[in-house]
Structure 1
Amino acid sequence: MSDIIQLLPDHVANQIAAGEVVQRPASVVKELLENAIDAGATSIKLLLKDAGKTLIQVIDDGKGMSATDARMCFERHATSKIQKAEDLFNLSTKGFRGEALASIAAIAHVELKTKQENEELGSCLKIEGSKVVSQDFISTSKGTSLAVKNLFYNIPARRNFLKSDTVETRHIIDEFQRVALAHPDIAFLLHHNNNEVYHLKNGNLRQRIVAVFGTKMNEKLVPINEQTDILNINGFVAKPEFSKRKRGEQFFFVNDRFIKSSYLNHAVVNAFDGLLEQGSHPSYFLYLTVPANTIDINIHPTKTEIKFDNEKALYSMLRATVKHSLGQYNVAPVLDFNRDANLDTPYHFNKNNTKASTPKITVDPDFNPFKEDVKPKQISSPYKREQNTQSWETLYTSVSNHQTEKQEELFENQPETKTQKTFQIQRKYVMSLIKSGVVLIHQSLAHQRILYEEFLESITVKEANSQQLLFPVKISFSSQEIEMIYTIKTELENAGFSFDEFTKDSVTIKGIPVSVTESKITIILEELLNDINLEVPDTSFSHFDVMAKSFAKTLSIKTGTQLSEQEQESLVNNLFSCKEPTVSPTGKATFKTLTLNEIDNLFNS
């Protein structure tokens, strides 16, 4: 039998590797930004066109590369970071595998310009689909400029799987924020379609967080700082009152590398025990510094997961540190909450030069308790005790007779009442009686269906009713969230919102839909932005659909809400008046029917 195993050509192997390294434009952004940081850059520019599908360009002022290195960096597994296997367990740089640029060059048009500080001329290299088109000497500034054009041009199937520009831009901004937050000492600039999105100056950590998430974030932050032999923790957590319904602003950095860790997240949430409302999540920006040889960052292709040597110790230290800071800055409640501040010793009190005066006791020398017979005053009361206690047994007789009369009135003479048709179970389900059996309705999902159809009809068919606020509400958001709200401003106005002013980090609302209360404006917009971040369809009608789903999910009655009998019946009637009563807006079943035969089978089996 002939041999059938053969080596893959380099361009095919590179495309396969690209499938692991480059999932979307945001993956390219992450790799290029990290390379610029490893090059010692103090200023980095990121230029995008069409959410990175047409152009991703990163320009840095780092140390640059020689002509030979410029060519070698596009070879598979070519790296300056490691020489032997043991180096994988003592890494201090971002990139180290050496497959990123080779993978990117296999699926795009790449143009590299680079120059070292002590060289007169730099190098310009152009590659298309792993093939070097040209390499020349050029005059350029110190550092590196790498432009990635027409991503996935030779793999149309991969390009078709990309989401809308809004979604892909959101992923790019996420990666940009993670890198920018990890390196506040580096200046960053982000332009998308010739519009400036971020202009971050170098500074300290607090300044960087405020610059990324808006000036309102400054008042929310509680500093965290703890130094130990095996772990250093610093950063910030947000005060409990600023917690969010979604896990948004949660950042862990280990040795200046962004990571995801549900285990460490649980430690932080545990530190907030008793301070958060149910369903809320804290915001945090936590930076952990550990010895490089105690972690393994090579366990995941995206390098966002890390294996620690002693996770339990890190968990305990992180939880204790966050809890201590919350108490230290008077965020967590203290035990002595009934303490009277008036009893505290003043700071200016000095035992040496100040003596407490002895209180004086004054007496009346003419007072004589035996001088005259003082009778106690009679206290008038509306309740007078009966002096005649001989007939006390009649009290019990009258009470007994009265109780018997009441029982007869309740159980014998009571007129026939209306039979209850609905029952609430565990404040989660509503059971309704039907001829063939019972219907079990999920109260939250059913209400979502009702609200969804109402919102969709009012947004697309009817003219939505808006109620004007007596005092306009100003809400703070990050710059990219403000931009996102502005892009769907027309749809929000059709839903009943009315806007007064847009600034770089806030929006002023002067009118809201009649079905929305003023206290829920922020929650509704935050939920809507989160849903839009997950997926934004391209058609305008689908924008309305996402909005109606988001509003319905936010405003629907939740599990644990007690419903009166009238509210239960109203829920049932409104559900079965819907066009699609069987499923919620997200496709989950709203009710299940249980027939008498099915109930009988439960006992006959």
Structure 2
Amino acid sequence: MPQIEVLDEQTIDKIAAGEVVERPSSVVKELVENAIDAKATAITVEIKEGGTSLIRITDNGCGIEAAQIPIAFYRHSTSKIRKVEDLVRISSLGFRGEALSSIAAVAQVELITKTPEQFTGSRYLIEGGKEVSLAEIGAPNGTTFLVKNLFYNTPVRRKFLKSAQTEAGYVNDLMERIALSHPEISFKFINNGQIRLHTSGNGKLKDIIYHIYGRDIAANLLEIHAEYEGFSVDGFIGKPIIARGNRNFESYFINGRYIKSTLIAKALEDGYRGFMMQHKYPFTVLTISLDGTLVDVNVHPNKMELRFSNGEILYQQLAALLSTRLRESELIPKVTVHEEKKQEKRPQIQPQEAPEPFEQKRLERLRAAVAKDSPYERKYPERNRPETGTSGQETAGQASVLREQITYGTEYPGSFPVEQKLLCEEKTDSSETQKQEKNGEVFFPESVNTDSQEVLAEHALQQTLFDAAEQKAEEQADTGGSDFSDADLKSKQEWKLLSKQARPHHRIIGQLFETYWLVEYQEQFYMIDQHAAHEKVLFERTMKAYREKEFTSQMISPPIILSLTMQEEVLLKKFLPEFEKLGYEIEYFGGKEYAVNAVPGNLYGLNGQSLLLELMDGLGNMSEKDTPDLVVEKIASMSCKAAVKGNQKLSRPEIEHLIDELLTLENPYFCPHGRPVIVSMTKYEIEKKFKRIV
């Protein structure tokens, strides 16, 4: 019979390390969290070979006193808590006191640290859980950890690690999440000598999102801020247009801690239901601040899993918050023109030798003669730019001033040889020319082709206006719109397409492919999918009637007799109350047959028998975990088969009525399956496509 024995300390340490240190990213997580707890404002992480050969973490935090260093590497030694009651109100990221002992048990660790009160720092070496040395050393304030040869004494663990590139990817992903959770801290991540991440620590979360995910993501964000009893939510969520095929872009933090929670993930995805296509997941970066007494962090040594005492309330309010924020925003996808910008090479003016004095005097006399009665010499008083007006008026004002003040002899793309020659000649008297141009005076010899100059000026004007318009468009994309002094103009500009204020200004152009309706509104071109629009109207109408118990039934005579299989009978009995709420009246007819005496009143025109069977087939594919709300949405979604189809001719009054119906919906932008109902294209994009703007 096997004997029971107490394991030695080294074996115990290695077993405990297996729970905390799974891979190099686990080491980085524990040490970076310690640096954050030490009030560091700048943290640098460097790894080599995926973190297996070297992990170096440097911070400018409070440091560790020399006498405390060996104690820090004991199991369950910590400065974060003192007694069991402290576990109820944990405010730090670490508290278990297992990280340093677990890391030291499976690696060669070097620690260099100094507190602000000490004159010198300390250097501590520990390998495989055994102390090697402790000595004084010159060091800056803060702490540096060097973790070398991870799992050197547990080759089995090392064998199960993935490639160096994959392990480095795990560390990179972790550093991005931590940077998002603490925008007030500057993070730098270096992999094999290359800087992969560097944040400024300016506290601006959107800057970090832009730095990590790029312009497209940052330009499609909605800010979130809400406070509830016991918790608050801050951060950004993405518009449905940037939804992804997996949950990798869902980031959420509890009291500054990066976690993974099925409860929060479900709340996020339920909040987006109806705004995205199926099997798509939202982009979110949310910080949830909770009362420490409402959450239990002490579930697993990696502290990635939490338990909530108010989980149901958190789920409901978070899902409702996201759904409300999405409904408040205009989510019409924009069709953009993606074209490579062709860099037009400006003609290079080769420097020439200065002309002889005689030639210089001749040019001066020529300029004086031209200046006397030249139509190109123009002086204009300084014009005050109007303080109010729309962006279009502002651009128009710029155009008029540019047309009047354009310098015809200036170097422009596509200049003609005659202009280049003139420019070379005028360059000899640069000081005089610059002075004249500043005063708005421009001179040309009589031999210059005036038609060519007009073409040149117009080309320059178009180029300048294009640059101005493009800059203006980028500013509006970044700020969400222009600022106007006139309140009426501003409010008109901010009217959504699907709003009662904007409705009288819609101009319906016509129908395309007997499927899409074309609408013009405020220099925007909209295409409305008639099938998706009608489907959405029916879906919302069905759901509203279900919630308010206002369904009407349409009696049919003779009744529809259905012959059901045993599985279909089980489904019918299980969901019969839901069918009745929708307006169906079904009764047992004998044997395997059931009589359908009435169908929902707003679904007339459909084959009631096939519709009911399709509904039951769809419900049969649902899992047991689906909530009653999902059952209703499944029924309502399939009921949308009554919607008008594509390639079906609609009259103008019918589409007018359909648009009016869309105005009454909370979310008119996406059909029940997540496809867009409306897409838009700006006048600027259309003109760019036709090369009116080049």
What range describes the TM-score normalised by the shorter chain of this pair?
Answer: 0.5 to 0.7
1:140–1:340 distance in 2 versus 1, CA, 3 Å: closer
Matches within 5 A, 1:81-92: 81-92=80-91
Question: Is contact 1:44-1:61 (8 Å) kept?
Answer: yes
* Alpha-carbon distance in 1 for matches of 2:332, 2:37: 40
Matches within 5 A, 1:302-451: 302-331=302-331, 337=498, 339=500, 341=502, 343=504
Question: Is contact 1:42-1:61 (8 Å) kept?
Answer: yes
The amino acid of 1:239's aligned partner reads K
In structure 2, the residue corresponding to 1:178 is in which secondary structure? helix
1:343 CA drift (Å): 4.4
* Alpha-carbon distance in 2 for matches of 1:276, 1:93: 37
Matches within 5 A, 1:522-533: none
The amino acid of 1:59's aligned partner reads T
1:4 CA drift (Å): 3.7
Matches within 5 A, 1:227-306: 227-306=227-306
| Residues 51-101 of structure 1: per-residue CA shift (max 9 Å, x gap) | 101000100000001111111111111111111111111100011011110
* Alpha-carbon distance in 1 for matches of 2:137, 2:5: 41
In structure 2, the residue corresponding to 1:95 is in which secondary structure? coil
| Residues 155-193 of structure 1: per-residue CA shift (max 9 Å, x gap) | 111111110112111111121112111100000111111
Tell me what 2:78 maps to.
79
Question: Is contact 2:496-2:502 (8 Å) kept?
Answer: no
* Alpha-carbon distance in 1 for matches of 2:8, 2:288: 42
Tell me what 2:160 maps to.
161
Tell me what 2:371 maps to.
none
Tell me what 2:121 maps to.
122
The amino acid of 1:313's aligned partner reads I
* Alpha-carbon distance in 2 for matches of 1:23, 1:68: 30
The amino acid of 1:286's aligned partner reads L
1:330 CA drift (Å): 2.3
The amino acid of 1:117's aligned partner reads P
* Alpha-carbon distance in 1 for matches of 2:270, 2:206: 24
* Alpha-carbon distance in 1 for matches of 2:267, 2:222: 17
* Alpha-carbon distance in 2 for matches of 1:232, 1:342: 37
Question: Is contact 2:63-2:115 (8 Å) kept?
Answer: yes
| Residues 219-265 of structure 1: per-residue CA shift (max 9 Å, x gap) | 02111111122220111111001111122210111111111112221
Tell me what 1:213 maps to.
213
* Alpha-carbon distance in 2 for matches of 1:227, 1:25: 37
Structure 1 stretches of 4+ moved >4 Å: 332-336
Question: Is contact 2:120-2:139 (8 Å) kept?
Answer: yes
1:338–1:286 distance in 2 versus 1, CA, 3 Å: closer
Tell me what 2:200 maps to.
201
| Residues 323-367 of structure 1: per-residue CA shift (max 9 Å, x gap) | 1211223238999947462649xxxxxxxxxxxxxxxxxxxxxxx
In structure 1, the residue corresponding to 2:125 is in which secondary structure? strand
Mean Cα deviation higher: 326-335 or 242-251 = 326-335
Question: Is contact 1:225-1:321 (8 Å) kept?
Answer: no
In structure 2, the residue corresponding to 1:65 is in which secondary structure? coil
2:383 is equivalent to residue 222 of structure 1: no
The amino acid of 1:196's aligned partner reads I
Tell me what 1:45 maps to.
44
* Alpha-carbon distance in 2 for matches of 1:137, 1:58: 20
* Alpha-carbon distance in 2 for matches of 1:124, 1:327: 57
The amino acid of 1:123's aligned partner reads S
Question: Is contact 2:330-2:496 (8 Å) kept?
Answer: no
1:290 CA drift (Å): 1.0
Tell me what 2:13 maps to.
14
Question: Is contact 1:297-1:305 (8 Å) kept?
Answer: yes
* Alpha-carbon distance in 2 for matches of 1:201, 1:216: 21
Tell me what 1:32 maps to.
31
Instruction: Give the count of matched residue pairs.
Output: 344
* Alpha-carbon distance in 2 for matches of 1:254, 1:340: 41
The amino acid of 1:26's aligned partner reads S
1:318 CA drift (Å): 0.4
* Alpha-carbon distance in 1 for matches of 2:222, 2:67: 49
Give unmatched runs, 5+ long, in structure 2.
334-494, 506-613, 615-694
* Alpha-carbon distance in 2 for matches of 1:40, 1:296: 23
* Alpha-carbon distance in 2 for matches of 1:300, 1:101: 17
1:6 CA drift (Å): 3.3
1:217 CA drift (Å): 2.0
* Alpha-carbon distance in 2 for matches of 1:183, 1:250: 16
* Alpha-carbon distance in 1 for matches of 2:6, 2:61: 37
In structure 2, the residue corresponding to 1:126 is in which secondary structure? strand
Tell me what 1:473 maps to.
none
Matches within 5 A, 1:464-503: none
Give unmatched runs, 5+ long, in structure 1.
345-425, 427-605
The amino acid of 1:19's aligned partner reads G
1:216 CA drift (Å): 2.7
| Residues 37-60 of structure 1: per-residue CA shift (max 9 Å, x gap) | 011100000011101010001000
1:118 CA drift (Å): 1.2
The amino acid of 2:273's aligned partner reads D
Question: Is contact 2:497-2:503 (8 Å) kept?
Answer: no
Tell me what 2:658 maps to.
none
Question: Is contact 2:78-2:97 (8 Å) kept?
Answer: yes
* Alpha-carbon distance in 2 for matches of 1:265, 1:332: 25
Q: Normalised by the size of structure 1, how large is the TM-score?
A: 0.55
| Residues 427-447 of structure 1: per-residue CA shift (max 9 Å, x gap) | xxxxxxxxxxxxxxxxxxxxx
Mean Cα deviation higher: 85-94 or 269-278 = 269-278
Question: Is contact 1:275-1:332 (8 Å) kept?
Answer: no
1:340–1:63 distance in 2 versus 1, CA, 3 Å: closer
Question: Is contact 1:123-1:137 (8 Å) kept?
Answer: yes
In structure 1, the residue corresponding to 2:237 is in which secondary structure? strand
The amino acid of 1:37's aligned partner reads I
* Alpha-carbon distance in 1 for matches of 2:503, 2:233: 38
* Alpha-carbon distance in 2 for matches of 1:97, 1:301: 8
Question: Is contact 1:226-1:232 (8 Å) kept?
Answer: yes
In structure 2, the residue corresponding to 1:71 is in which secondary structure? helix
2:107 is equivalent to residue 108 of structure 1: yes
Question: Is contact 1:110-1:146 (8 Å) kept?
Answer: yes
Matches within 5 A, 1:118-157: 118-157=117-156
In structure 2, the residue corresponding to 1:31 is in which secondary structure? helix
Question: Is contact 1:326-1:332 (8 Å) kept?
Answer: no
In structure 2, the residue corresponding to 1:248 is in which secondary structure? helix
Question: Is contact 1:225-1:234 (8 Å) kept?
Answer: yes
| Residues 552-575 of structure 1: per-residue CA shift (max 9 Å, x gap) | xxxxxxxxxxxxxxxxxxxxxxxx
1:119 CA drift (Å): 0.6
| Residues 393-446 of structure 1: per-residue CA shift (max 9 Å, x gap) | xxxxxxxxxxxxxxxxxxxxxxxxxxxxxxxxx9xxxxxxxxxxxxxxxxxxxx
The amino acid of 1:242's aligned partner reads I
